[in-house]
Amino acid sequence: MADPNGRPDHAFPEAQREGLYRAIFERRDVRAQFRPDPIPSEVLARLLQAAHHAPSVGFMQPWDFLVIDGREVRERVHGIFARENARAAECHTGERGALYRRLKLEGILESPLNLCITCDRSRGGEHVLGRHSIVETDLFSTCLAVQNLWLAARAEGIGVGWVSILDPDELAEVLGLPQDVYPLAYLCLGYVDDFLDRPELARAGWRQRLPLAERVHGNGWGQSLDSPTLSAALETLESRR
């Protein structure tokens, strides 16, 4: 197929495009709706393959995937969370503190499967193409693997929750990680009863999504867009969601 100017049209068919955007807009950080049903091996393999096909600077592919279904390991990780969460709660007082303590912030034991996505900071050797100026690109690349897995999971009807309230050094010790391997994302995976219509923190009143039109700048920070049609398109999209 070609566009009106005779150039190849590489866009997906409309139904496939809508499916991709649906996965993006309906992706949720799941903490409390997990069912005990196991994830079939072939489905988990597809999720891991999607993650493994994320882009990475210098094609370094710094990620590894630790599939965690053992109860003992998860209980040790949950213990780290419980202590760190109690410490984090002390940062919030009054009504904010009460709200924080009501929030469900993990599903480590309730979900049928945990997954830790790590970043090997030595992979690719001392000189990785594209990493000379920004050494954190290995971490950024691994985050893209997390996002790939998350979107694929939503398409498969599987919920994912990222548990960030963990001490990374203790987590690395529990998982027996080598010295140069950083536990970037600890995830809870499983089928869910439902996907919430809005992010859980927005529903709870913790924070709301910022208006996109106010976050887009033109040619420099704080400058207005030169394109009135783009500004109008952004406003239109915001009004539909």
Task: Assign residue 62 the CATH number of its domain.
Answer: 3.40.109.10
Q: Do residues 172 and 220 both lie within one domain?
A: no
Q: What is the pLDDT at residue 2?
A: 61
Q: Do residues 63 and 147 both lie within one domain?
A: yes
Is residue 1's pLDDT more than 60?
A: no
- State the pLDDT confidence band at 205, using cuts at 50, 70 and 90: very high
- Express each pLDDT in 109-162 by its tens digit: 999 999 999 999 999 999 999 999 999 999 999 999 999 999 999 999 999 999
| Residue 116 belongs to a domain | yes
Number of domains in the chain: 2
Could you give the C-alpha distances from 138 to 49, 52, 180, 181, in angstroms and in order?
19, 14, 12, 11
At residue 173's C-alpha, the angle toward residues 172 and 175, to 5°, is 65
For range 169-173, the mean pLDDT? 98
Q: What is the pLDDT at residue 241?
A: 67
Q: Do residues 124 and 225 both lie within one domain?
A: no
Q: Do residues 191 and 240 both lie within one domain?
A: no
Q: Is the pTM of this model over 0.85?
A: yes
Domain carrying residue 133: 25-197
Q: Do residues 75 and 105 both lie within one domain?
A: yes
Q: Do residues 114 and 65 both lie within one domain?
A: yes
Q: Do residues 228 and 182 both lie within one domain?
A: no
Least confident of 21-25, 125-129, 235-239: 235-239
